Structure 1
Amino acid sequence: MEGENTPVAGKSKSRASVFSVNGGAIGWVCRNGEAIFSNSPRGMPESSLFGRGVTTPQFQTVMALPIRMQKKTRGVLCLAKEAPLELTGEMRDFLFMASEHLSLFLENLYIKCRLRDLSFTLAETQNRAGGGTENA
């Protein structure tokens, strides 16, 4: 888990804020690649955000969107609030746009790192072959 502004999950069974993607609402978004928008006055059950064994506050508003890279869901952008919050069309549009931009950023970062690694590999191969170039 990254970027929580207040501690969300209790220390009980969680280890260093690492959770299985097989349980809870976040796991469902990860597995199905679809967003969840929930605004329930009763709130979500305590274990429903991350699954069983992870106690969280009683969130009344939950918005979870998939972060896709290379045609697979690689993460989930999740915003949750303990108080009710009106989920307007503008808010949904903004969150979809934010998740798409985050996906593009991560994809570009991956490609940049991959190109750098390939460039180093090419330079090493050329140097071993005796045909090294200055600008590799």
Structure 2
Amino acid sequence: MVQYKKCFTAFRKELDLKGIRFTTSNPNQIQMTRFTTNDLAFSGYSTTVDSNKNHETPDLNYVNKTDEKNVTDFCNAFLENYNVAQTKANFQKVETFLQHPYLEHAVCSAHLSDWIASNWIKRIL
């Protein structure tokens, strides 16, 4: 049992170094955690939520790229939906793509996701 704990502890440290997070101490139940607004690479986002919207059912088709919660939710969803490794670097890469001049006026989640996915491996940043 001690060897098992040492192996798991080493595995957990390796994941931490790579920026990968999980929420359980049981290696059979590893679950990826969602990144938070503290993980955003850029600052200056608005912390207010549009008061005209129902806070419990956000409009998933619209991305307000000036709101830190909207950006965080979009980046997390992209990593999950496109099966991208859930690292802080990839989370911030999605955020960086959102700042690309081509997407300056784009607000549709599907359009943003498609464009980011199609440009993911290209070196356009």
Shorter-normalised TM range: under 0.3
Higher helix share goes to which structure? Answer: 2
TM-score normalised by L of structure 1? 0.26
Higher strand share goes to which structure? Answer: 1
Bigger Rg, structure 1 or 2: 1
TM-score normalised by L of structure 2? 0.28
Q: Which has the higher contact order (CA 8 A, sep 6+)?
A: 2
